[in-house]
Amino acid sequence: MTLWSGRFTESMDSTLWELSESFSFDQVLYAYDIQGSKAHAEGLARAGLVTEGELSELLRGLDSVAQEFVGGTFVRTDVDEDIHMAIERRLTEIVGEVGQKLHTARSRNDQVATTLRLFAREATTTVAQAALGLVEAFVSKGKAYSQAVLPGYTHLQRAQPVLLSHHLNAHALGLLRDVERLVDARDRLNVSPLGAGAIAGTSLPIDPAFTANLLGFDSPFINSMDAVSDRDFVAEVLFAIALLGVHLSRIGEELVLWTSQEFNFATLGDPFTTGSSMLPHKKNSDVAELARGKSGRLVGNLTSVLVMLKGLPLSYNRDLQEDKEPLFDSVRTAMLVLNSLTGAVQSLTMNSERMKSASSDDLLVAIDVAEALVAEGVPFRKAHEIAGRLVGRAVGEGVTLSQVVTSEPDFTKFGPLFAEGAALANRTSPGSAGPKTAIDQDKRLQEILSTLQSRVF
């Protein structure tokens, strides 16, 4: 007999039971549900709906149920439809009749919304912290190779030389925006639905502001129907994680490229590589491929929740139960990827020589020839055409661009543009890829990092 079976004469068909039970996946919420129930019990006592003695019984019972979950001794019975029912059933077994008072002025609709917000609040913090760990790994790798230079690519064609730290900081900044989105979502979700009841509140004298405060929410709900049907927070957290996943996939893809023999820009430490079951010589970057591949399910989880929400009438509908597995999966997946990718980035040995030789392709200086002409008053389009003609000659004659440039009397003065390191040193505009602006960039990145660090923790 379920806790709601009073109205029925026949028991539920087993196929519906299998379809509708959620204990199999929502049991991970036990600690948050118990936290919510303890606050609710306090609220009932404050409203005079349970006595102080009954309150301590309820709190003691809820703590014992929590202990059973922690110790792995909790036994699910065949009436435990979901985590909420399971905890209440067990509580009543432990404390007796007073357990039946816990659900006063409460519905599973406001209960589940409260529980899930408590979960999401902690999960956003955990994921944001892990993302900051990856940011720090990028920043310190850049510092460890502060002089290293590699070609920056557009269209995966060598474009201009850039400092390695500039490249790594670009990934770090994307991740910092992910962290900001996660904490923004956390700020917005920190509203308590507890006290909304099934849909319209209750006739009993509860105070939602009191329980909201006990649970560390910034405020109680404004509207009971919104409180029980709003899952914007799930969608927002899933979006923040999906975009984080997209960033992780782009990082993963570059690591795959960089660690290939063709690029040979970097080597992953052994603990972050895998071998082949057949080819004895292989050292594979599976960590990076999985970072790339796992992003698919993160986008999928967001999509499945948005589609589930689309067209739902107010207020609670059982469809909403489908919010949980995608959320749990995204949080778990993001943590797996972030943790191993952070280790992988820390383990990277960069091949500075190889990156340098790839970036010393002197065609990468063509833009500096054009810009030197601009400095002499030549309109940029004209300068571009002149430099393009010199590149065409070099490629056609199979010689270097500097050979062509210095062979033309009008242009010999541009010879120094081809000196080692000049192309990088000439990147001087704010936010550019050279050493002149790196200090300022590091400072700004550090400011964002510390602001977010204090917001996250």
> Which of 22, 35, 249, 330 is in the footprint of ligand ARG by CB under 6 A?
22
- The piece of 91-99, 107-115, 219-227, 250-258 that touches ligand ARG (CB under 6 A) is 107-115
Given the complex with ligand ARG, which of 301 and 347 has the nearer CB atom?
301
How many whole angstroms separate alpha carbon 384 and alpha carbon 405?
14
Does residue 107 carry a catalytic annotation?
no
How many whole angstroms separate alpha carbon 106 and alpha carbon 373?
75
Name residues whose C-beta falls within 8 Å of residue 440's C-beta, 6 or more positions apart in sequence. 430
Around 232, how many Cα atoms within 13 Å sit in the side-chain half-sphere? 11
Given the complex with ligand ARG, which of 318 and 443 has the nearer CB atom?
318
Judged by CB under 6 A, the chain residues 72 through 101 that form the site for ligand ARG are: 82
C-beta separation of 323 from 116 below 8 A: yes
How many whole angstroms separate alpha carbon 218 and alpha carbon 208?
12
C-alpha separations of 130 from 239, 240, 241, 254, 350 in Å: 17, 14, 12, 20, 23
- The piece of 27-35, 126-134, 314-322, 423-431 that touches ligand ARG (CB under 6 A) is 314-322
- The piece of 167-175, 315-323, 367-375, 397-405 that touches ligand ARG (CB under 6 A) is 315-323
Residue 231 in contact with ligand ARG, rule: CB under 6 A: no
Exposed, middle or buried: residue 52 (CB in 10 Å: 0-12, 13-18, 19+)?
exposed
- Indicate which residue of 14, 155, 203, 454 is catalytic: 155
How many whole angstroms separate alpha carbon 436 and alpha carbon 250?
27
How many whole angstroms separate alpha carbon 218 and alpha carbon 90?
31
Residue from 154, 151, 147 nearest 162 by CA: 151
Given the complex with ligand ARG, which of 25 and 263 has the nearer CB atom?
25
Given the complex with ligand ARG, which of 111 and 273 has the nearer CB atom?
111
- The piece of 260-268, 279-287, 316-324, 378-386 that touches ligand ARG (CB under 6 A) is 316-324
Name residues whose C-beta falls within 8 Å of residue 451's C-beta, 6 or more positions apart in sequence. none
- Indicate which residue of 11, 140, 276, 429 is catalytic: 276
- The piece of 62-70, 106-114, 140-148, 163-171 that touches ligand ARG (CB under 6 A) is 106-114
Does residue 277 carry a catalytic annotation?
no
> Which of 35, 37, 92, 109 is in the footprint of ligand ARG by CB under 6 A?
109
Given the complex with ligand ARG, which of 2 and 213 has the nearer CB atom?
2
Residue 329 in contact with ligand ARG, rule: CB under 6 A: no
Number of neighbouring beta carbons within 10 Å of residue 323: 22
- In b/e form, how buried is each residue of 111-120, taking b as 16+ CB within 10 angstroms? bbbbbbbbbb
Residue 112 in contact with ligand ARG, rule: CB under 6 A: yes
Residue 321 in contact with ligand ARG, rule: CB under 6 A: yes
Residue 106 in contact with ligand ARG, rule: CB under 6 A: no
C-beta separation of 218 from 288 below 8 A: no
Q: Min. distance of Cβ 85 from ligand ARG in angstroms?
A: 8
Using the structure block, give the residue that is written with the tokens 């820009």.
265
Q: Min. distance of Cβ 121 from ligand ARG in angstroms?
A: 17
Q: Min. distance of Cβ 81 from ligand ARG in angstroms?
A: 7
Q: Min. distance of Cβ 361 from ligand ARG in angstroms?
A: 58
Residue 108 in contact with ligand ARG, rule: CB under 6 A: yes
Name residues whose C-beta falls within 8 Å of residue 79's C-beta, 6 or more positions apart in sequence. 1, 2, 3, 85, 89
Interface residues toward ligand ARG, by CB under 6 A = 22, 82, 108-109, 112, 316, 318, 320-321
Give the residue numbers annotated as catalytic, written as ranges. 155, 276
